[in-house]
Structure 1
Amino acid sequence: MTEQNENGDFFLKYRNETLFNDKNSIVQCLKYFDKDNDQSLDLNEFEQLLKSLFSHNGNSYQIEMAKIKAMFDFFDSNKDGKIQLIELENFWFKIIKPTLFPKNALLIVDVQNDFITGTLSLTNCPSKHNGAEIVPIINNLIDTVPFETIAYSIDWHPADHSSFIENVNNRKLAENSPIKENIKTFDSVIYEAYPNVLQILWPAHCIQGTNGAKLHADLKQVDAKTDSLGRSVIYVYKGCLSDIDSYSAFFDNCRLNETSLHNDLKKLGITDLYICGIAADVCVAYTSMDALGLNYRVIYIQDGVRGVDSDNIKKQEINLVNNGALLIKSKDVYDMVGCKDRRPELAYATFLSLARSNKV
């Protein structure tokens, strides 16, 4: 929810990097919000600063007082109950800077033929979702939003992959496997090779080099060499090892092997991941959770995903929010990437990361 901000959008002009990095800008910020002219910000003045920072079209987002107080106390390093100029400088570069200068990537998870019209089509799953519905939504984001990077993840399994129901008899089941006989599609087993990991058994899908593994024909694939917006492009392949699955675009399910995605994103300085794709409650959810664990600011595009089970999608979304992700609609993305719509949830996630590492 928002409320009219009496201070207006003080921060929009500081989207100019030269102006932002000028130390006098911090002094001007202090003067602007220091209503009692004591050369510092008390809690109420700090709250007004936050209301101006986290706003959209002149309307401030509401922030829980407990969260305001937590940030205030963290940056009040000398614990005098005031944010002095040097403390505001810390806040300026560690919270305001990523708010005004995020590096944004669109991460498109597994929008592949087999999940839309092929062997593991969502139409045959409990949700009965049509994965093709998200393709025009994603294409519109690609066409209209100036992301720095577009990333595509691709499920890329060998034919003998352990997640395939067709291969269940090719590996020894662990003693603690919940099912050992009369095993069916969508059952979960545990293999002896990985005794602590449940493996859901899916129909064979996204086999390397097959049509089913290709990205959907209507999904736009950006060419970095000809892209008019000059965006970088990343392709990441996952689930490539026979004996262990990889729902996440970052790690396999045992977290023994890491894909190239995190390294590629960090090289480009990416801070914010806008995530969409298939399946919302499996690969999209696992990718989003790992992104949060790697300290990315995660924005989950609700109308840009389809999944296996509607109830599980809701559970996964609740879990993502509880861990710091922001759920939005695709119509909100343009203003967020352009920093006209600045959400406090993302800054608070940045703050929690700082607090965990005790980096004042």
Structure 2
Amino acid sequence: MNFPEKIKIKRCLLIIDMQYDFISGSLKVSGGEELVMKIAEYLKENSDNFDLIVFTKDDHPREHVSFASNHKSKVPFDEYTYVSKNDSSHVFKSCLWPDHCVVGTPGNEIHNDLTSLILNEHIGKTKTIVVGKGKNLNREYYSCFNDVLEEDFTELQEILETELISEVFICGLAYDYCVINSAKSSVQLGFTTFVAENLTRKIDSSWECNEPGVKVVTQF
């Protein structure tokens, strides 16, 4: 009997939202500058361990729904509820934010110490791409796959499936928002999903990951 060759497991590294507004700007995450250095060092030594590297980034229009400045009598961090236009009972409670990652501003850009590693759309031998999220002014995105109501989607799922990715490793900013929500979506879509805890930073220092199905790697 002839057995088929063992199928190679293909891995993607998702680097979430390492943009200037989250590192040193309007929504600065503590430890962001240090994290840039750690991820850059990791990529220099380990990029070839992956079959695909994806940088994600908030790509917001100035009129974005998540900005407090676009709501009368609201200030940053006020509570806000997102309601589906298709089903008013389908809601997501969150908060409003300071303006951040507006397309065309310096705060929107991924840190140069990371993008400078990309040469001819590769880091080392590994294909490297950038995927934007939150482009629709009426949709709030934490996950890099879908909006908070899970009704609007980026192209990332299709990209990973086209590249035959089965394992997804996630790092970046911020652990308790866009990193964990991206990991949650990744699990729901059937990818074996890991979070590199030492290559993330939190907004809320007391927050702990307890998302079912997400495999936390403490030393990546």
Q: Which runs of 5+ in 1 are unaligned?
A: 1-20, 26-92, 123-128, 170-181, 333-360
Query: CA separation in 1, counterparts of 2:97 and 2:206?
Result: 19
- Quote the offset at 1:221 in angstroms: 4.7
What letter is aligned with 2:54? A
Q: Name which one, 1 or 2, has greater alpha-carbon Rg.
A: 1
Identify the residue that residue 28 of structure 2 maps to in structure 1. Answer: 121
Contact 1:163 1:201 in 2 (8 A): yes
- Pair 265,222 (structure 1): closer, same or farther in 2 beyond 3 Å: farther
* Conserved? CA contact 2:121–2:128, under 8 Å: no
Partner of 1:11: none
The code of the aligned residue for 1:278 comes to: L
Unaligned ranges ≥5, structure 2: none
For the residues of structure 2 that align with 1:227 and 1:155, how far apart are their CA atoms? 21
The TM-score normalised by the length of structure 1 is: 0.55
**Separation in 1 of the partners of 2:26 and 2:175?**
18
The count of residues paired between Structure 1 and Structure 2 equals 214
TM-aligned CA deviation for residue 230 of structure 1: 2.6
More off after superposition, 144-153 vs 193-202: 193-202
CA distance in 2, matches of 1:226, 1:260: 18
The whole-number CA distance in structure 1 between the counterparts of 2:69 and 2:75 is 10
Counterpart check, 1:187 vs 2:78: yes
Aligned with residue 19 of structure 2, among 112, 132, 135: 112
**Residue 216 of structure 2 corresponds to residue 327 of structure 1:** yes
Partner of 1:161: 64
User: 1:301 & 1:102 partners in 2: Cα distance?
Assistant: 18
Aligned residue number for residue 62 of structure 1: none
Q: Distance in 1 between the 2:141 and 2:180 partners?
A: 12
Identity level (%): 29
Q: 1:192: Cα distance to partner? A: 6.3
Q: Which amino acid aligns with 2:114?
A: L
* Equivalent position SS for 1:255: coil
SS at match of 2:33: helix
Runs of 4+ in 1 over 6 A off after TM superposition: none
Q: Is 1:224–1:232's contact at 8 Å kept on the other side of the alignment?
A: no
Q: Is the 8 A contact 1:155 1:206 kept in 2?
A: yes
SS at match of 1:140: helix
Distance 1:222 1:271, change over 3 A: farther
Q: Equivalent residues in 2 for 1:68-147 (5 A)?
A: 101-122=8-29, 129-145=30-46, 146=48, 147=50
Shift of 1:217: 2.1
State the TM-score, normalizing by the size of structure 2: 0.88
Alignment partner of 2:134 out of 218, 239, 264? 239
For residues 280 and 164 of structure 1, the distance between their equivalents in structure 2, rounded to whole angstroms, comes to: 20
Alignment of 1:136-285 (within 5 A): 136-145=37-46, 146=48, 147-169=50-72, 183-190=74-81, 195=88, 196-223=91-118, 225=120, 227=122, 229-285=124-180
| More RCO (CA 8 Å, sep 6+) | 2
Alpha-carbon spacing, 1:221–1:149, altered in 2? closer, same or farther (3 Å): farther
Q: 1:83 is matched with which residue?
A: none
Structure 1 position 227, deviation (Å): 4.1
Does 1:296 pair with 2:176? no
